[in-house]
Amino acid sequence: MTAKLLGIAPPWTVASVDFDETVKTLTVLIDFQPGSRFEVSGHEGVHPVHDRRPLFVLLDATWPEARKMFRKSPYLNHLPVLSLASEQISRYQLRRSRRDDHFCTSEVAALCMDLAGEPQAAQTLEAYLDVFTHHYLQAKNQLPVDLEDALHQRLRSLAIPR
């Protein structure tokens, strides 16, 4: 009823109404329905709004060190732990693990982004890792970097237009 009185239409909703008599203040909390899509100035079409921003805590260490850090950090106990099962093999080339299913921190972050429904962010992070690795290996071998190669083109193709 309050939404109709205020002229608020879906996807907007009135989440709560509170009147404080002591200071004579009316507080109306306006929210949007989960899964809503909105027009964004300067961008065509409608775009989703994230109802909750996911938070991932990534331990940047070798696998044995990360396990030790996790066990020795009781403040992390209340956080859910993700088991990331991926069919892909780690593409990280700078320091090799003895296992192909051990990913570098950047690869784990990309898997988390994909899991959070952000495939564009995941692919962009993967592309940045590929470009970084290529630059590092070229510099290590004192070779020039081709800024127009397939890795750089892929990274550019993933850029969000402004």
Contacts of 148-153 with CB under 8 Å at 24 or more apart are 151/127
Residue with tokens 């970084």: 132
Q: How does pLDDT run across 91-117, given as a tens digit for each residue?
A: 766 666 566 556 778 888 888 888 888
Q: For residue 53, what are its two tokens?
A: 């921003």
Q: How does pLDDT run across 44-75, given as a tens digit for each residue?
A: 777 776 556 677 888 888 878 888 998 898 88
Measured in whole angstroms, the distance separating CA 122 from the mean position of its chain's CA atoms is 7
> Which is more confident, 115 or 130?
130
Q: What is the pLDDT of residue 141?
A: 92
pTM (global) more than 0.85: no
Query: What letter would DSSP give residue 75?
Result: G
C-beta separation of 37 from 47 below 8 A: yes
The band of 14, judged by pLDDT with boundaries at 50, 70 and 90, is confident
